[in-house]
Amino acid sequence: MLAIRLDSDTEQRLDALAARTGRTKTFYAREAIEAHLDDLEDFYLAEERLRNFRAGDAIPLADLKAELGLGD
């Protein structure tokens, strides 16, 4: 269970969307959270990897292209 407070403009927009489509406000809140959660997880994973990156870990682009069979 989760309770959130929304500013009045966002609440009105959500009410209007739910009324127009016949879906619940909970449905749209869940959809928005799930979509944004994917983005946040990707961002924090990339940030962590960047923080732990060492210069020697880099693969030269030419080597990667060769490994993947891509030409110039």
- One pLDDT digit (tens) per residue for the chain, 72 residues: 889 999 999 999 999 999 999 999 999 999 999 999 999 999 999 988 888 877 677 788 899 899 999 976
Task: Write the burial class of residue 47 (CB in 10 Å: 0-12 exposed, 13-18 middle, 19+ buried).
Answer: exposed
Q: Other C-beta atoms within 10 Å of 33: how many?
A: 13
Q: What integer pLDDT is reported at residue 72 of this predicted model?
A: 66
Q: Phi and psi dihedrals of 6, rounded to 5?
A: -120, 150
Q: What is the DSSP letter of 55?
A: G
Q: What is the pTM of this model?
A: 0.59
Q: CA geometry: angle at 59 spanning 69 and 48, to 5°?
A: 125
Q: Phi and psi dihedrals of 66, rounded to 5?
A: -65, -45
